């Protein structure tokens, strides 16, 4: 029985959101880490893009990607992570801790919030008010 790429089977959005805002006590998330929503390509048939979430951080002058989905806590060099997943960095959405907290409150779900797979907020009026506040701070 293989994985159906059209059915979400992981917890990457939830686990990554919990990690960036500090709810994942099992993790020591590096200072300055950001939550990333992007679109890797499966490395096996049918080789399609799918939505995924992970954390990125800087260490020793390098970008590292931390995948916390499904209980994994694996860091890979960013160049390797993006290369293996055939990920276009320009098509990724990055959120620092404060931005991720606002997006979680505004959308009332873990994501994705923007891009081709962006899921609308559960309460659009509530979201508009919170997102306006966030934009006013940047």
Question: pLDDT 10s per residue in the chain (138 long)?
Answer: 344 545 557 899 999 999 999 876 667 888 899 999 999 999 888 899 999 999 999 999 999 999 999 988 899 999 999 999 999 999 999 999 999 999 999 899 999 999 888 888 888 777 777 777 766 665
The answer to the question of residue 7 being in a domain is no
**Which domain covers residue 59, as residue numbers?**
12-137
Residue 80 lies in a domain: yes
Structural domain includes residue 1: no
Cβ 66 vs Cβ 75: under 8 Å: yes
Tell me which residue of 123, 103, 121 sits closest to 36, measured CA to CA.
103
- Kindly report the pTM of this predicted structure: 0.85
Q: Considering the domain boundaries, does residue 99 fall inside one?
A: yes
Residue 3 lies in a domain: no
Domain count, the chain: 1
CA 24 to chain centre: 14
Q: Which is nearest to 25 in space by CA: 57, 58, 62, 73?
A: 73
Residue 4 maps to a domain: no
């Amino acid at each position: 029985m293989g994985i159906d790429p059209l059915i979400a089977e992981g917890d990457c959005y939830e686990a990554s959101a919990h990690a960036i805002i500090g709810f994942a006590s099992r993790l020591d998330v590096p200072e300055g880490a950001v939550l990333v929503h992007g679109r890797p390509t499966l490395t096996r048939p049918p080789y399609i893009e799918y939505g995924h979430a992970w954390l990125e951080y800087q260490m020793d002058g390098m970008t590292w990607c931390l995948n916390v989905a499904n209980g994994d806590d694996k860091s890979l060099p960013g160049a390797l992570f993006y290369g293996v997943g055939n990920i276009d960095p320009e098509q990724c959405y990055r959120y620092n801790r404060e931005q991720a907290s606002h997006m979680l409150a505004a959308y009332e779900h873990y994501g994705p919030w923007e891009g081709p797979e962006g899921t609308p907020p559960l309460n659009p009026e509530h979201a508009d008010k919170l997102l306006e506040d966030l934009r006013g701070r940047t």
